[in-house]
């Protein structure tokens, strides 16, 4: 497949992500992406650029090319995007798509027949994904693309007779240039580069005692990868697709904004290639399918779970997680200042973690912490921001967590997770004595109503939790507060470098070796 050039000034100001990405492609002045009209044979090829380590899953849908190709490769060509939009060409691609998102499926289908440009915009997959999820909820069978899925469902129900026999076209439009649409496709089809996976600087331990775990990792609030913790779990040998589908039956699990049966979710995950795959993340799986609750147990290091004093009033705390390659969670801090553990049962996950005092590049938390704006997809973060961390003094902690391993995520740590293959995992958030004071402080913040999650009673959670702890463990809070104060005073009394280096009588510096 011919090489291509991605514009060095590629700009992507996605309103939905609220992310400001001024350094989008500093290193891609000679990028390998130029799309030209493709033959059927070329559409099936994988484009592997060994020089930059990029590997693509498919060719660009509808022949969309980066804007740099118009300026540097196909000089003199006329951008079909502009001619087909007419007076609307002054609008950004994001705004055009926001306007089209107001239309229903019938009008989108009609609009796609007006011009080549509108054909490309009206077939943008996220538009059809939103229509499917809004109208069909989780009651859909994925048909290879979101538009095909919608059309198939509409044909069956006859709600949209005009679409009944329309199917999905895949016309290749010559000379259509758009950074925004091209990057959306690129993020959906780019595979992880080797250099994004090779850094592994996390502590790994096996057979460590609970006391050592507390002293070396939980107390100092440091992440660690624990090996050998899942020995004896029934889930390790049983939790295949077939088994989970069988025991779940018609039970529906939380998948993004909808609920789906496992069988239907697996059909979706098998056929999808998109920038943000739907992720099965269900906090009530044990109540929905009780047998699953009996097939795993909390590792010995995390069994002090103080939120349990609230009984059924505790916030959501455990989830089953299932997702295809490329799915995952963009940068976030775990809810309610809790710590967490994440056990991979099948598959593997890439982790990137930053300590609480270091905000990851490309992430923009609001001053009160209630909102976090970050790139729209995980792959986009790796493309545009991962390289920035190479020269940081405080580099992120990174690793690949494989089946049978457990990641400990200390409270307050930023973390991003991406599945490198289809993965099934269990995760739990918990409160121990090591982070009890942090949690209580978090729950009583003035804006707790916006910050607290996993419960309907956000404003009163602090008082309920504190009262329950005092009743179940009298004197514990006071004891922890006393130790925290003693530690603070000890830190203040430590002789600093400058105190040791300064002669208090003469005011001059003195050094001793």
| Whether 351 contacts 329, CB under 8 Å | no
**Are the C-beta atoms of 268 and 275 separated by less than 8 Å?**
no
Across the range 434-442, mean pLDDT stands at 96
Q: Span 447-476, mean pLDDT?
A: 93
In contact, 223 and 414? CB cutoff 8 Å = no
Q: Which of 9, 24, 39, 63 is nearest to 182 (CA)?
A: 63
Q: Cα(412)–Cα(394) distance, rounded to whole angstroms?
A: 16
**Two tokens at 148?**
């095909």
Assess whether pLDDT exceeds 80 at residue 89: yes
What does the pLDDT read at residue 56? Answer: 61
- Residue 159: pLDDT band with limits 50, 70, 90: low
Report the distance separating Cα 203 and Cα 226, nearest Å: 9
Residue 25 has pLDDT above 50, yes or no: no
Which one, of 323, 328, 327, lies nearest residue 274 by Cα? 327
pLDDT tops 50 at residue 3: no
What's the average model confidence in pLDDT over 128-156? 94
- The first and second tokens of residue 512, run together, are 């001793």
- Torsion (CA) 432, 434, 439, 445 in degrees, nearest 10: 170
* Eight-state DSSP code of residue 503: -
d(C-alpha 19, C-alpha 74), whole Å: 31
Residue 143 has pLDDT above 70, yes or no: yes
Residue that is written with structure tokens 């699990």 in the block = 253
**Residue range 267-289, pLDDT digits in tens:** 999 999 999 999 999 999 999 99
Q: Is the pLDDT of residue 501 over 60?
A: no
Q: Which of 402, 404, 416 lies closest to 334 in space, CA to CA?
A: 416
- Please name every residue paired with 401 in a beta bridge, in sequence order, or none if there are none: 349
How high is the pLDDT of residue 374?
A: 79
* Closest by Cα among 231, 316, 326 to 277: 326
pLDDT for 160 beyond 60 = no
CA distances from 509 to 416, 445, 494, 504, 512 (A): 45, 44, 19, 9, 10
pLDDT at 7: 35
* Sequence-distant (≥ 6) Cβ neighbours of residue 283 within 8 angstroms: 254, 316, 317, 318, 319, 454
In this structure, the number of other CB atoms found within 10 A of the CB of residue 132 comes to 20
Q: CB count, 10 Å around CB of 329?
A: 16
Q: Are 49 and 32 in contact (CB under 8 A)?
A: yes
pLDDT at 199: 93
pLDDT value at 170 more than 80: no
What is the structure's pLDDT at 34?
35
The SS3 call for residue 392 is coil
Q: How far apart are CA 277 and CA 422, in angstroms?
A: 12
Compute the radius of gyration of the chain from its Cα atoms: 26
List Cβ neighbours of 94 (8 Å cut-off, separation of 6 or more): 13, 14, 15, 180
The pLDDT confidence band at residue 369, using thresholds 50, 70 and 90, is: confident
Q: For 35, what's the count of Cα atoms within 13 Å in the CB-facing half-sphere?
A: 26
Tell me the two tokens of residue 54: 């990029």
Confidence of residue 473 (pLDDT cuts 50, 70, 90): very high
Q: pLDDT category, 213, cuts 50, 70, 90?
A: very high
> Which pLDDT does position 504 carry in this prediction?
43
Paired residues of 341 in beta bridges: 408, 428
What's the pLDDT score for residue 511?
A: 35
Give the span between the Cα atoms of 413 and 467, in whole angstroms. Answer: 27
DSSP per position, 102-121: TS-HHHHHHHTTT-HHHHHH
How high is the pLDDT of residue 493?
Answer: 78
Give the residue among 146, 148, 141 at the shortest CA–CA distance from 169. Answer: 148
Q: Quick check: 5 pLDDT over 50?
A: no
Tokens of 292: 């699953």
Q: What is the pLDDT of residue 145?
A: 94
Average pLDDT score over the chain: 85
Q: What is the pLDDT of residue 496?
A: 53
CA distance 103 to 477: 56
Q: ∠206-202-399 over CA atoms, to 5°? A: 100
pLDDT of residue 55: 64
Are 275 and 149 spatial neighbours (Cβ–Cβ below 8 Å)?
no
HEC letters along 33-67: CCCCCCCHHHHHCCCEECCCCEEECCCCHHHCECH
Of 124-133, 423-432, 446-455, the poorest mean pLDDT is in 446-455
pLDDT at 476 over 60: yes
Beta-bridge partners for 509: 502
Predicted confidence (pLDDT) at residue 82 exceeds the cutoff of 90: yes
Percentage of residues in the chain having pLDDT higher than 90: 71
d(CA 336, CA 284): 18
332 compared with 30, residue with greater pLDDT: 332
pLDDT at 487: 86
What average pLDDT does range 442-451 have in this prediction?
90
Confidence of residue 366 (pLDDT cuts 50, 70, 90): confident
The Cα–Cα gap between 410 and 355 comes to 9
Q: Which range is least confidently modeled, 32-41, 193-202, 242-251?
A: 32-41
């Amino acid at each position: 497949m011919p090489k291509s050039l991605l514009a060095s000034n590629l700009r992507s100001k996605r309103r939905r992500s609220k992310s400001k990405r001024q350094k989008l492609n500093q290193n891609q002045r000679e990028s390998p992406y130029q799309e030209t009209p493709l033959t059927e044979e070329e559409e099936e090829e994988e484009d592997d650029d060994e020089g930059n380590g990029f590997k693509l899953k498919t060719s660009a849908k509808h022949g969309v090319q980066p804007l740099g190709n118009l300026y540097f490769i196909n000089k003199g060509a006329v951008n079909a995007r502009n001619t087909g939009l007419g007076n609307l060409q002054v609008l950004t691609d994001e705004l055009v798509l926001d306007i089209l998102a107001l239309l229903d499926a019938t009008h989108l289908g009609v609009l796609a027949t007006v011009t080549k440009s509108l054909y490309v915009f009206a077939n943008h997959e996220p538009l059809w994904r939103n229509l499917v999820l809004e109208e069909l909820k989780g009651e859909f069978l994925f048909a290879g693309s979101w538009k095909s899925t919608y059309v198939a469902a509409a044909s069956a129900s006859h709600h949209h007779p005009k679409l009944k026999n329309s199917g999905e076209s895949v016309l290749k439009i010559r000379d259509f240039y758009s950074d925004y649409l091209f990057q959306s496709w690129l993020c959906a089809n780019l595979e992880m580069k080797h250099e994004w996976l090779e850094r592994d600087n996390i502590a790994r331990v096996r057979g460590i005692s609970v006391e050592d775990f507390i002293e070396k990792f939980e107390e100092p609030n440091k992440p660690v990868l624990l090996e050998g913790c899942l020995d004896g779990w029934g889930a390790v040998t049983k939790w295949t697709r077939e088994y989970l589908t069988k025991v779940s039956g018609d039970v529906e699990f939380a998948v993004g904004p909808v609920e789906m049966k496992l069988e239907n979710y697996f059909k979706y995950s098998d056929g999808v290639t998109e920038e943000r795959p739907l992720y099965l993340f269900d906090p009530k799986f044990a109540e929905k399918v009780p047998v699953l609750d009996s097939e795993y147990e909390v590792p010995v290091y995390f069994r002090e779970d103080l939120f349990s004093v609230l009984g059924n009033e505790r916030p959501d705390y455990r989830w089953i997680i299932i997702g295809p390659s490329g799915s995952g969670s963009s940068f976030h801090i775990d809810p309610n200042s809790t710590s967490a553990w994440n056990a991979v049962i099948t598959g593997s996950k890439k982790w990137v973690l930053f300590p609480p005092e270091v905000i990851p590049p490309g992430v923009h938390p609001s001053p009160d912490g209630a909102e976090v704006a970050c790139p729209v997809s995980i792959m986009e973060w790796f493309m545009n921001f991962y390289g920035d961390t190479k020269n940081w003094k405080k580099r992120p902690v990174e690793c690949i967590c494989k089946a049978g391993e457990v990641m400990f995520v200390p409270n307050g740590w930023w973390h991003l997770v991406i599945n490198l293959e289809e993965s099934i995992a269990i995760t739990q958030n918990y409160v121990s004595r090591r982070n009890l004071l942090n949690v209580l402080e978090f729950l009583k913040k003035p804006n707790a109503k916006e910050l607290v999650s996993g419960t309907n009673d956000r404003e009163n959670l602090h008082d309920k939790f504190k009262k329950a702890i005092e009743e179940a463990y009298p004197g514990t809070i006071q004891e922890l507060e006393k130790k925290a104060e003693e530690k603070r005073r000890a830190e203040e009394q430590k002789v600093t470098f400058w105190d040791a280096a300064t002669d208090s009588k003469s005011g001059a510096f003195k050094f001793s070796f």
